[in-house]
Amino acid sequence: MKISPDLYRARTRDGHRIALWRYENKGRRAPVLLVHGLGSNRYDLDAPIDSYSLARFLHADGFDVWVIELRGAGASNHKLRKHLLGFTIDDYIFHDLPAALRLIEDETGEDQVHWAGHSLGGQLAYPIMAAGKEHRLRSCATLGAPAMQKTDHSHLEFTLPFVMPLLRAFPCFWGYKRGLQLGSYFMPLAARIGSRYFFTLENVDLADLAKVARCAIDDVPSGVNLQLLEWYREKRMTTAYGTIDPIAALERSRVPLMVIAGARDGLTPLEDVRIPFDRSGAPSKELVICGRDHGFSQDYGHIDLVFGKRAREEVFPRIRDWFVRHDLPAATGSAARNGAQARASEPGAIGGFASGPGTIGGFASGPSPKDESPRRERAS
């Protein structure tokens, strides 16, 4: 029997309501937070086809699984705000994700989560770990998450002088979602283009991929695209609020980190995806290269890390085993978490993310004002 998740909502500091879908388990294990990729929603990691749902895979193994939908996506799609105001990646980092973590703690009593994120969803873990919030993560697994330092699509750079002014002029473009959904009805043709960047043809079922595309794709706010393009142009991640480099700051992180990369990922190449693994100061870390030379049945691309024919047998168990291995609290316990909070309140701590009490959306130490606490709703 297929299990349906419960819908929760967390209120952010800036007044948005963020949807989280929960597959509840009351076992011993820390909760899992799944974070979707760019231009997607919860179905990226909780596809309606069981074979491609990481959420239900982990839930079946005893985990309490929460799937967030970042602002602008799925049940968090506030269309008026999205199309009139737009959002940035900073909104995800400084508002949506802290609200989600507070809500999960409120509901479960656990102050740490295992984090799994696909593409941008994995990339977002890096500033969280670098921002004095690493004590919130029990462990982390990223899938095809770029560092933006060695990603090269030079054959498309001629479009930037035309695309970037349009993105600045319009908070959100209509058509991305509908266009790709329409393309799903012509998947054999669309696959010729998609296989260059997003997947390897021999590793996906095109009929299944078409079904998932019709529900898993969402429009992308222009501010998010602009920030990504700026990262691409500058060859580094930063924030709109300052000159912060979360990848460099990973040297101070001790969160157990598994980096999963596709051997033939045409969107985020291996040499870029592995940079956070190389930079991480975690005593426990692992780089998984999904390809034939490393014991996999096929060379994986970008989205087939989740939607590959054998991702459920070859990729998902590695994430589960990583979480199980690191499910006990860190040996240093609350003392380490208190130390991390104390360091976050020092000027310039953790790569400059915390420049004083109360900065950057509540990432600095100390209690948040009452009116900044997330308000929650629940609907089945």
3-state secondary structure of 300: coil
Helix (H) or strand (E) segment spanning residue 377: strand 376-379
Q: Write down the pTM of the prediction.
A: 0.83
Closest CA to 19 of 30, 6, 9: 9
Closest CA to 122 of 141, 104, 99: 141
Helix axes 222-234, 160-169, angle to 10 degrees: 140
- What residue spans define the domains of the chain? 6-366
- At 40, phi and psi to the nearest 5? -135, -170
Taking CA 280 as the corner, what is the angle to CA 276 and CA 286, rounded to the nearest 5 degrees?
Answer: 80
Encoding tokens for residue 50?
A: 């069981």
DSSP 107-158: HHS-S-EEEEEETHHHHTHHHHHHTT-GGGEEEEEEES---SSS---GGGGG
- Tell me the torsion sign for CA atoms 117, 119, 121, 126: positive
Distance of alpha carbon 54 from alpha carbon 57, whole angstroms = 5
Encoding tokens for residue 305?
A: 């890390």
Record: fold of 6-366: Rossmann fold (3.40.50)
pLDDT tens, residue order, the chain (380 aa): 678 999 999 999 988 899 999 999 987 689 999 999 998 999 999 999 999 999 999 999 999 999 999 998 889 877 655 555 568 899 999 899 999 999 999 999 999 999 999 999 999 999 988 766 778 999 999 999 999 888 777 666 767 777 777 767 666 665 566 666 676 677 777 777 777 778 888 999 888 988 998 888 888 887 888 888 888 888 888 876 665 688 888 998 999 999 999 999 988 899 999 999 999 999 999 999 999 999 999 999 999 999 999 999 999 999 999 999 998 764 333 333 433 333 333 333 333 333 333 333 333 333 333 333 444 455 43
What is residue 96's predicted lDDT score, i.e. its pLDDT? 94
